[in-house]
Amino acid sequence: MRIFTTLLSYDHGILRQVLDVLGEMVERNSWEQHRDVLPEVVDFLQRFMDQYHHGKEERYLFPTAPPGEADLKEQIDDLVREHRQAKDYADAIEEGVARWDLDVLRDNTGRLVAHMQHHILEEEDMVFPAFDGVMDPEVDMSIHEQSQRFMEENFGASFQADMEAFANKLQDRVMGKGVIKYGP
What is the Cα–Cα distance from 50 to 44, expressed in whole angstroms?
9
Cβ-defined contacts of 74-78 (< 8 Å, 24+): 75/122, 75/126, 75/127, 75/130, 76/127
Residues of this chain, 108-127, that bind Fe ion according to CB under 5 A: 123
Q: In the range 125-154, which residues lie near Fe ion by CB under 5 A?
A: none
* Residue 50 or 57 having the CB closest to Fe ion: 57
Question: Nearer to Fe ion by C-beta: 57 or 94?
Answer: 57
The residues in 35-64 that bind Fe ion, with binding defined as CB under 5 A, are: 57
Minimum CB distance to Fe ion, residue 1 (Å): 14
Q: What minimum distance in Å lies between the beta carbon of 146 and Fe ion?
A: 17
Q: How many residues bind Fe ion (CB under 5 A)?
A: 2
Residue whose CB is less far from Fe ion, 4 or 96: 4
Distance CA 106, CA 86 (A): 15
In the complex, minimum distance from the CB of residue 8 to Fe ion, in angstroms, rounded to a whole number: 6
Number of neighbouring beta carbons within 10 Å of residue 180:
5
- We find the least distance from the C-beta atom of residue 124 to Fe ion, in angstroms, to be 8
Between 58 and 172, name the residue whose CB sits nearer to Fe ion.
58
Which residues lie near Fe ion (CB under 5 A)?
57, 123
